[in-house]
Amino acid sequence: AQSVTQLGSHVSVSEGALVLLRCNYSSSVPPYLFWYVQYPNQGLQLLLKYTSAATLVKGINGFEAEFKKSETSFHLTKPSAHMSDAAEYFCAVSDPRYGGATNKLIFGTGTLLAVQP
Amino acid sequence: DTAVSQTPKYLVTQMGNDKSIKCEQNLGHDTMYWYKQDSKKFLKIMFSYNNKELIINETVPNRFSPKSPDKAHLNLHINSLELGDSAVYFCASSQGLGAFKETQYFGPGTRLLVL
C-alpha cells in the first residue's frame, strides 16, 4: 500500500528565508507525487506534481520539488518565503497503475507553514 | 466562474438528523470525488464517481450515500448524523478515466458540526 509521511507538522520560517517541507513516500511502484496547498478556510490547490518526467518539478508561486528515488523523497522548497505562503501543505501520492476515477490520492498529514515578519 | 462549488459552506446540526451537501463543477470533468478532512487535518477519500457511476467506495458507513444526478453534480446525503461525522467535507473533480496523473480540483469545503 502506498503512503506518504510529512516530517514536521509545523514549520516556522522568517520572511525571505528558505522554505523546506519534507515528504517521504512508500510505494511498491514508481508513484506519482503531488503537493497541494490549503489556505485558511479554503479548498486545496495544486502546487506541483511529479508524473515520471523531469525529477525537478517547478510549480506555482515559486515552489519546486525534487523527486529522489534513492531517498524516496519529494521535498518542497522555495528560496524565499513570503507572508502569503503561510498555509497548510499536503503531500500526496497516487498509484500509476490505477487510472482516472479509480485512482486514489493518498494524502500526508500536512505541514502548517508559518512565516514570521 | 467558480470551478468547484459546494453548498452549504457551514452546517450545524443535531445528532440524529439527516443532511445533504451539494457539489457542482463547471469544468466539464467526468470524475468527481468526496473527501473527509478530520479535526487533525487528515484528508481521506470517501467516494469517486465517473459519469454518474460509483467507482470508489471506501470503508464509509452506509449512512453516507452519494448521488450523482449528472456528471456535473455529486451530492452527499448523510443519515442519522453522529458526533464523529463532524469534519470538513471536500468535493473535487478531475478530467476522467485513464489519466492517473491528473490534477484534482477542490471545492472550498463544507464545515459540518454535529452537536
Q: Give tens-digit pLDDT for B36-46.
A: 999 888 899 89
Task: State whether residue B10 sits within 8 Å of chain A by CB.
Answer: no
Q: How far is A43 from chain B (nearest CA, A)?
A: 4
User: What DSSP character marks residue B27?
Assistant: S
In tens, the pLDDT along B48-103 reads: 888 888 888 887 899 999 999 998 999 999 999 999 999 999 999 988 654 456 78
Most B CBs within 10 Å, among A39, A49, A60, A103, to test the B interface: A103
* pLDDT in the model for residue B40: 86
| Partner residue facing B55 (CB), from A41, A94, A101 | A101
Dihedral angle sign, alpha carbons of residues A4, B38, B56, B53: negative
- For chain B, give the longest Cα–Cα distance: 42
Residue with cell 467526468: B30
Residues B100, A44: C-beta atoms closer than 8 Å: no
Q: How far is A45 from chain B (nearest CA, A)?
A: 7
The one-letter code for the residue type at A82 is H
The rounded distance, in Å, linking the Cα atoms of B11 and B71 is 25
Report whether the peptide linkage leading into residue B8 is cis, meaning its omega lies within 30 degrees of zero.
Answer: yes
* pLDDT in the model for residue B99: 44
Task: State whether residue B110 sits within 8 Å of chain A by CB.
Answer: no
Query: Which grid cell is B78?
Result: 448523510
